[in-house]
Amino acid sequence: MAEQRGKLIVVSGPSGAGKSTVIAGLMRRRAGLCFSVSATTRPPRPGETEGRDYFFVTREEFQQLVNDGALLEHAEYVGNCYGTPRDYVERKQTEGLNVLLDIEVQGARQVRARVPEAVMVFVIPPSLEELERRLRGRHTDAEEKIRSRLARARAEYREADFYDYIVINDDPETAAEELDAIITAELCRYQERKTYLTEVQEL
């Protein structure tokens, strides 16, 4: 059979849900995954490599990408623009790799609208109390910042109905296992494999 085209998997969730740990667990479990590389107007930091960490572009170039519809999603963050280049993602998918996007809820919503077949996963902690505990456990955030993150999580929960899956990160290994299962299942979808059936019909 021809190499199966990879899936685009969007992972998002509130700050403190533990996405990075879950994704790290997934990478240990599963081969054939790659991270998307973002375009950004932020200048490179020491050690960052063009095309590996980011695609570094000027504001004008970034605006051109937006105008051309060449970004799956984009956002501005502390004065710099970030976006996901559509052609990079599609090239990796064509190579048979499953592409992971770790982005904010607003970006996820943009991808949902532009790539209906993307797999949208919302990673959440087992409860808001637990989220609060985790945010406080970091000892890095001021009280005001914690409050604002909790309020934001609630707001995100209310508008999460565009996600396909919810992974509850109680234990990161179980959550990684679920994310792994979601990718496997999505690759088994009828739409993904129907060519098998049509080839047979032409025999």
Using CB under 8 A, list all residues that contact a second copy: 1, 122, 124, 126-128, 154, 157-158, 160-161, 163-168, 177-178, 180-182, 184-186, 188-190, 192-194, 196-197, 200-201, 203
- Closest contact distance (angstroms) between CB of 188 and a second copy is 5
d(CA 193, CA 203): 17
d(CA 102, CA 123): 11
Of 2 and 188, CB closest to a second copy: 188
Of 63 and 184, CB closest to a second copy: 184
Of 57 and 153, CB closest to a second copy: 153
Measured from the Cβ of residue 3, the count of other Cβ atoms closer than 10 Å reads 9
Of 78 and 188, CB closest to a second copy: 188
Q: Are 5 and 119 in contact (CB under 8 A)?
A: no
Q: Tokens representing 105?
A: 């809820």
- Closest contact distance (angstroms) between CB of 120 and a second copy is 8
Q: Are 112 and 118 in contact (CB under 8 A)?
A: yes
